[in-house]
Amino acid sequence: MYRLVPATITVRDLCKSYGDVAAVDGVSFEVGTGEFFGILGPNGAGKTTTLEIIEGLREPDSGDVSVFGLPAWPRNAALLPRIGVQLQASSFFERLTAREQIHTFASLYGVAAKRGDDWLETVGLTEQAGLRTEKLSGGQAQRLSIACALVHDPELVFLDEPTGALDPQARRNLWDLLRTISTSGRTVVLTTHHMDEAETLCDRVAIMDHGKILKAGPPAALVRELDQPLRISVESGLIPADRAAELTGGHVADDGVSLSIATRDPARVLAGLARADALAGLRVTGATLEDVFLSLTGREYRA
Amino acid sequence: MSGFTSLSVAMFRGFVRDRAALIFSILLPVLFLLFFGSIYKNTSAPKISLVTVGQVQLLAQARHADPGLGKVLTISHARTERAALADVRKGNNDAAVLQHGDHLVVRFSIADQTKAGLVNSVLGSIVQAANQAASGKAPVFTLSASQVEDKSLKAIQYFTPGLLGWALASGATFGAAITLVSWRENKLLRRLRLAPVSSGSIVAARIGIAVAIGLIQLAVFLAIATLPYFGLRLTSAWWMTIPLVICGILAFMSIGLLVGAIAKTQQAATSIANLVILPMAFLGGAFLPLDFAPDWVRQASYVMPLRYLVTGMQDVMARGEGPAAALPAIGILLGFTVIVSLIAVRMFRWDDI
């Protein structure tokens, strides 16, 4: 691939085994400057190991990894101030308050404590600043952990399963925060096993399974490449199935709750349904990354 | 603030907010000190109690001649010989005393052999003194006996260093082991590895905090034991306990690091550390003074680092030896630290995989 902007991360033919298990098996990709890059796959796919090798925490068995043009292994102290790492919500000092945690990290990076306070405000934790981290909710702890990763304003941020243990509402709240951190040219690398998360947040994703990258690209492009029919569904009982098939020319199924039509010609289907005044409860769904995963592996996606 | 300072502050806050750690490293040892201190407060001069039947002229004369006898003897009376003997058998009194003319009769129990010996020698000397007075001549030979230790040497001088040694050992070992395991478990170790701070700063901060905690333990112990109620008197070279405490902390932290390197979970770390510290507390002279311990315990104690910490502190704190007396203990503790740390570093892991 030809790029005007030099790649922030270059990974080539990366391999890492634990015993007989190949955790990472010949992985290559690049992450451009300012890109929001997602490594997506089920648990045990090798995402975290890949991330840890790029961070410089683990030595690869073979392959090359460079970050800002410098080799990632052995741990390069010159790289550390330029990268931010969020490992897990619980990677905190025991019995310190949220404010004390971020002040400690600020001073480890030689940054003024005030910057820590600003970040607490950015992630919406000003009210909880005096609470010990053990008392924070899962979502609050994740926000704090992201703030601690960003306190020194790094050019490159690694987020390992940032929404891992959160409930759906907390996950969506966190997405808003994650969107804001990729502004101002910062490069973000995120691992996740949530397909929807990768789809909404990432400029580009690499789908990983069994230590290999199956496919990489912008989520929308991956889905479009699948060339799957759209599913258009309305409430059951508005229109008989055979009449719907006749009107729309699509493949119709009615399960008693919804009547759904698979089609590659949505305009005709929607026009037909509109003419029959059968649009109540209308939903149009396209293929998702889960369908991409299904087509790549031949199995249902299970996180 | 540098990385070292901010890590030290974070660790110190974590320690003082940890109730369990405060209880085990400071409160519990202090309670032990208060408990033993109160029990053994008055054991320095054993007393004997006598029960007399009828008039015992000799005893009355002796007490009149030497008022100091009252410190050693307490005397009560019984109506009949039978009642007095029953009393001695039960252990309420150490001996029954009767006088038939010039003949002094003493009946004692050998249930307490030390007391029995004491009764015989005290009454023997009373009879001898009376005989000598009856002869009307000045005594030719006299005996003066006194103990080799400072007169103030009480039980508290022995077990203050012992309990303090135990408190220091368990505080340093558990602290280092639990910190290492929990930081590995919650991945803080790896998070710190990705921050621009050297492993040296992290280790130095942890050692600094452990030493600070050790010196706090020392200060609390000395403050309590030297209260007039307990009566610990520090001898001149007591300040050598400060370097001893620091070296002891280093030695036991190295044990803690080794335990933390081996253990996978905090529970495992706690169990292993207990397995190391508790036997050492009993066999290393912390709970039982080595002077009164059986021979095999004394032999075993030579391989325990706690022994050198405790006896070293005893020498300079209570036995009145010079500052140089602590040097062998310091050397052994430092040597131990180096060896165990090297093993711990070899076994160290940044994470569980």
User: pLDDT digit string (tens) for B251-307?
Assistant: 999 999 999 999 999 999 999 999 999 999 988 888 887 877 888 888 888 999 999
Q: Give the mutation candidate from B11, B190, B351 for the A interface (greatest A CB count, under 10 A).
A: B190
What angle in degrees, to the nearest 10, is found between the helix axes of B155-185 and B241-262? 40
Min Cα distance B256 → chain A (Å) is 18
Q: Chain A to chain B, count of Cβ pairs less than 8 Å apart? A: 69
Strand order in the sheet with A251-254: A251-254, A258-263, A230-235, A283-285
How is B280-307 classified by DSSP, letter by letter? HHHHTTSSS-GGGS-HHHHHHHTT-HHH
In a mutational test of the A interface, the residue from B18, B178, B186 whose CB has the highest number of chain A CBs within 10 Å is: B186
Q: Which of B6, B13, B187 sits opposite A108 (nearest CB)?
A: B6
Contact list in A for residue B182 (CB cut-off 8 A) is 94
The residue in chain B having the minimum alpha-carbon distance to the alpha carbon of residue A152 is B195
Tokens 């990385």, located at residue = B3
Query: Using alpha carbons only, what angle is made at residue A138 by residues A133 and A142, rounded to the nearest 5 degrees?
Result: 75
Whole-angstrom Cα Rg for chain B: 28
Nearest to A133 by CA among B4, B1, B13: B13
Asked if A80 and B2 come within 8 Å (Cβ–Cβ), the reply is no
Q: How far apart are CA A102 and CA A124, in angstroms?
A: 14
* Cβ–Cβ contact A161 with B under 8 A: no
Pairing of strands A83-86, A70-71: unpaired
B5/A107 CB distance under 8 A: yes
CATH topology identical between A7-218 and A229-286: no
Q: Quote the tokens at residue B62.
A: 């002796």
Asked if A100 and B13 touch (Cβ cutoff 8 Å), the reply is yes
Chain B touched by A74 (CB under 8 Å):
no
- Higher-confidence residue: A107 or B92? A107
Average predicted confidence (pLDDT) for chain A: 88
Chain B residue at shortest CA distance from A52: B190
* Distance in angstroms (rounded) separating the CA atoms of residues B347 and B335: 19
Q: Cβ of A103 and B6 within 8 Å?
A: yes
B208 in A contact zone (CB under 8 Å): no
First to last CA, chain B: 33
Candidate from A90, A95, A105 with C-beta closest to B17: A95
Residue A164 has pLDDT above 70, yes or no: yes
Q: What value of ipTM does the predicted structure carry? A: 0.80
Q: State both tokens at A169.
A: 């509402």
Task: Specify the pLDDT at position B75.
Answer: 85
Residues B65, B57 contacting (CB under 8 angstroms) = no
CB contact under 8 A, B186 and A75: no
Residue A172 carries which side chain, given as an amino acid letter?
R
Give the dihedral sign, CA A147/A148/A152/A157: negative
- For chain A, the first-to-last Cα distance in angstroms comes to 31
| Chain position carrying tokens 């391999």 | A15
Q: List the single best residue of B178, B179, B191 to mutate versus A (max A Cβ within 10 A).
A: B191
Q: Is the pLDDT of residue A30 over 60?
A: yes
Q: What DSSP line would sit under B13-31, residue for residue?
A: HHHHT-HHHHIIIIIHHHH
Cα distance between residue A139 and residue B116, in whole Å: 76
Average pLDDT in the A189-210 region?
Answer: 90
How distant is the Cα of B228 from the closest Cα of chain A, in angstroms? 38
Contact B196 A56 (CB under 8 A): no
Query: For the whole model, what pTM was predicted?
Result: 0.76
| Tokens representing residue B157 in the block | 């001088």
Q: What is the pLDDT of residues B28-60, one digit of tens each?
A: 888 988 888 887 766 555 678 888 888 888 888
3-state secondary structure of A83: strand
> Cα(B327)–Cα(B322) distance, rounded to whole angstroms?
10
**Strand B95-100 relative to strand A283-285: parallel, antiparallel, unpaired?**
unpaired
Q: How far is CA B288 from CA B158, B165, B294, B310, in A?
A: 9, 12, 10, 11
Structure tokens given for B302: 């030579």
B177: nearest Cα among B278, B308, B268: B268
pLDDT band at A75 (very low <50, low <70, confident <90, very high): confident
Q: Is A189 on the interface with B (CB under 8 A)?
A: no
Cα–Cα distance between B167 and B189 in angstroms, integer?
27
Task: Please tell me which of the candidates B10, B186, B351 has its beta carbon nearest to residue A104.
Answer: B10
| Cα separation, A94 vs A92, whole angstroms | 6
What was the pLDDT predicted at B121? Answer: 84
Phi, psi of B249 (to 5 degrees): -60, -45
Put simply, whether B148 touches A (Cβ < 8 Å) is no
A57 CB near a chain B CB, below 8 Å? yes
pLDDT tens string A240-298: 888 888 888 878 888 888 888 888 888 888 888 888 888 888 988 888 888 888 888 77
B188/A55 touch (CB, cutoff 8 Å), yes or no? no
Q: What is the CATH number of domain A7-218?
A: 3.40.50.300
Contacts of B190 in chain A (CB under 8 A): 57, 87, 91
Residue of A nearest to B16 (CA): A95
Q: Which of B14, B187, B350 sits opposite A94 (nearest CB)?
A: B14
Q: Domain map of chain A by residue range? A: 7-218, 229-286
Q: Give all domains of chain B, ordered by start, each with its CATH number.
A: 3-41+153-347 (no CATH), 48-135 (3.40.190.10)
CATH topology assigned to domain A229-286: Alpha-Beta Plaits (3.30.70)
Q: Which of A57, A75, A96 sits opposite B10 (nearest CB)?
A: A96
The Cα B230–Cα B218 span in angstroms is 16
pLDDT of residue B150: 52
In this complex, is the C-beta atom of B10 within 8 Å of any C-beta atom belonging to chain A?
yes
What was the pLDDT predicted at B152?
45
Across the interface, which of B13, B188, B350 has its CB nearest the CB of A100?
A: B13
Q: Residues of A with CB below 8 A from B188's CB?
A: 91-93
Residue A44 structure tokens: 């045990």
Residue B6 is nearest to which of A55, A80, A104, comparing CB atoms? Answer: A104
Torsion of CA B261, B264, B269, B270, to 10 degrees: 170
Asked whether the beta carbons of residue B13 and residue A96 sit closer than 8 angstroms, the reply is yes
Q: What is the DSSP letter of A229?
A: P
User: Contact A176/A123 with Cβ under 8 angstroms?
Assistant: no
- Read off the amino acid at residue B300: A
CB distance A191 to A198 below 8 Å: no
Shortest Cα distance from B161 to chain A (angstroms)? 32
Chain B residue whose CA is closest to A92: B188
Hey, what amino acid is at A42? Answer: P
CB contact under 8 A, B188 and A92: yes
Cβ burial, residue B234 (10 Å; 0-12/13-18/19+): middle
Confidence at residue A157, expressed as pLDDT on a 0 to 100 scale? 94
CA distance A162 to A150: 13
Query: Across the interface, do A93 and B10 touch by the CB < 8 Å criterion?
Result: yes
Identify the segments of chain B with pLDDT beneath 50. 151-152
Alpha-carbon gap: B220 to the closest alpha carbon of chain A (Å): 24
